[in-house]
Amino acid sequence: MASAKNKNNNNDIVFLPLGGVGEIGMNLGLYGYGPEDDRTWLIVDCGVSFAGPELPGIDVVVPDIKFLEDEVDNIAGMVITHAHEDHYGGILHLWPFLKVPVYATAFTAGLLAAKTESEPGAEEVPVTVVKQGERHKIGPFDVEFVAMAHSIPEPCALAIRTPAGMVLHTGDWKIDRTPGVGLPIDLDRLAELGREGVMALVCDSTNAIRDGVSPSEADVAVELRKVMAKASKRIAVTTFASNVARIRAIAEAAAANDRDMVIVGRSMHRVIEVAGELGYLDGLKPFHDEEAYGYLPREKTVLLCTGSQGEARAALARIAAGDHRNIALSKGDMVIFSSRTIPGNEKAVGEVLNNLADKDVDIVTDRDALVHVSGHPRRGELEQLYKLLQPKVVLPVHGEPLHLAAQAAFAKGLGVPEVVRGKNGDIIRLSAGRAGIIDEAPSGILVKDGDILDDPEVTGVKERRKLSFAGAAVIALVVNRAGELLDDPNVALLGLPDTDDEGDPMEDIVIKAVRGAVTSIPKSRRKDKDLVAEAARRAARSEIQNVWGKKTLCKVMVTQL
């Protein structure tokens, strides 16, 4: 907890990240205003991340909200900056524990509603729909939704005003005056906020290690037309389903090359439906469902597919593996990856690329042409934002430690008076002249394991991890009341070698070790079932390790007759 010298009863504004700082994904930040013992909190974003091999059997990871559950009566609301999974994907999992007011733009609200319909049993979340440029009073927070540019419609920065000062929370952003759909970044308004006085800037760090500025979505649109013009057979394009500007650019490039669009993948259909209702796809030729693939001419077709990150169940992975029910690609067809590979997905994407290469498909990635641009700011854009806002404090967020350190050093180099590096769980005072980490709160992760949302160790992931490396031995013993074995141990070995290196059956080796351990217990102590079980477990585990070299997970059940 905070030291005595840091405690105070001032009405400071503080920032507490429960996710998204020191990592990319699972964004959930809290702004607190008021004295230390009576703060009101504003939740900004509620995202997920996706599990890797360290969490076998787990798909979705969300921030642990233990702190928020304890403070639920002091939460003014939840504000969502945009509808990417790492910013809004946790709402359906976590909102039922909080039931606080939610504020989001129409596109985000539409995707949330569509997601709710597609998840059986999901609780409907009431949303107050806001527009970019509006201001809303949420408890003690005066929140302005400032139009930004990103790889999704309606991204917002949040100008959060309190009597303690204004904080500008960027969300995900870049400087793009031609974003393809929706409003461009509102640089004029950002300049006005700078003149009003921005005390602290809480800023996206994803591309802080890269110099220059990110190209525009308009540049990608031009390049897609050129790339498609070179194709003589089928074209398949994969991109992030939420990137409506890219979807529009792909559709316009297809039309310019006299081709029809076929949509493949549920999440792509979901986004297109919401975007169409909001007018973002007006003026385009009608899209076809995948059933149309069979009768459209090969040289007149563009497939728009989910699966840019190699997801095993997504459309492109199944097409590449040759097991999609309606779609197949063959030699001479072209696949365009209008996306980047998110760190951690390299192996999955590589498998899709290799499967496509085996089919002699022509592959185009952003290494070959400008078919993708990032939605995050490089150093040149960060510098422009600093000049517009003139913040007194900068707090890097949304990035791994490398990205956070890069933005911190960059901000210091540009003369920002105070730069604070924090991590998930830190309570950070943003007040100019006194900025810094003043306390800590409980933080961590929860995992969605089937229908259960809980701490990863409670769900059995720890043992599941061991199973994936060293298998399991399950041993059943039947003893009489004197503790004597009535039959040979019954052994089930899962994921172990059948024999040792001399050809002796592993099952026989374990049975011998267990029998020896039990009979070596003094007769006066064999009546203790727990003692017998533990002796058998230790003997089995030790003998397997001696033979195989791995520490197998062992379970022993003792039945006394």
Please write the tens of the pLDDT for every residue from 543-558.
Answer: 999 999 999 999 999 9
> What ranges make up the beta strands (E) of 306-391?
334-337, 362-364
- 217-364: which CATH number, 3.40.50.10710, 3.40.640.10, 1.10.3720.10, 3.90.1300.10? 3.40.50.10710
Q: Label residue 560 by pLDDT band (50, 70, 90).
A: confident
Positions of CATH 3.10.20.580 in the chain: 471-560
Give the strand pairing for 156-162 and 141-147. antiparallel
Positions of CATH 3.40.50.10710 in the chain: 217-364
DSSP class per residue in 82-147: ---HHHHTTHHHHHHHH---EEEEHHHHHHHHHHHHHSTTPPP--EEEE-TT-EEEETTEEEEEEE
* Fold exhibited by the domain 471-560: Ubiquitin-like (UB roll) (3.10.20)
**Is 22 a residue whose pLDDT tops 70?**
yes
Predicted pLDDT at 8:
44
Please write the tens of the pLDDT for every residue from 104-118.
Answer: 999 999 999 999 999
Across 52-81, average pLDDT: 91
Nearest to 92 by CA among 72, 78, 75, 105: 78
Q: Label residue 3 by pLDDT band (50, 70, 90).
A: very low
Upper half-sphere CA count for residue 530 (Cβ side, 13 Å)? 0
**Is 286 a residue whose pLDDT tops 80?**
yes
Average pLDDT, the chain: 93
Predicted pLDDT at 47:
97
Across 194-208, average pLDDT: 97
pTM (2 d.p.):
0.90
Give the distance from CA 213 to its chain's centroid: 25
Distance CA 279, CA 275 (A): 6
Across 374-386, average pLDDT: 98
Across 331-345, average pLDDT: 92
**Is 453 a residue whose pLDDT tops 60?**
yes
Distance CA 506, CA 492 (A): 10
Inter-residue contact 437 to 449 (CB < 8 Å): no
For the ranges 5-14, 280-289, 300-309, the lowest mean pLDDT is seen at 5-14
Across 296-322, average pLDDT: 95
Q: What would you measure as the largest C-alpha separation in the chain, in angstroms?
A: 89
Q: Label residue 454 by pLDDT band (50, 70, 90).
A: confident
Percent of the chain with pLDDT over 90: 83
* Fold exhibited by the domain 4-212+374-454: Metallo-beta-lactamase; Chain A (3.60.15)
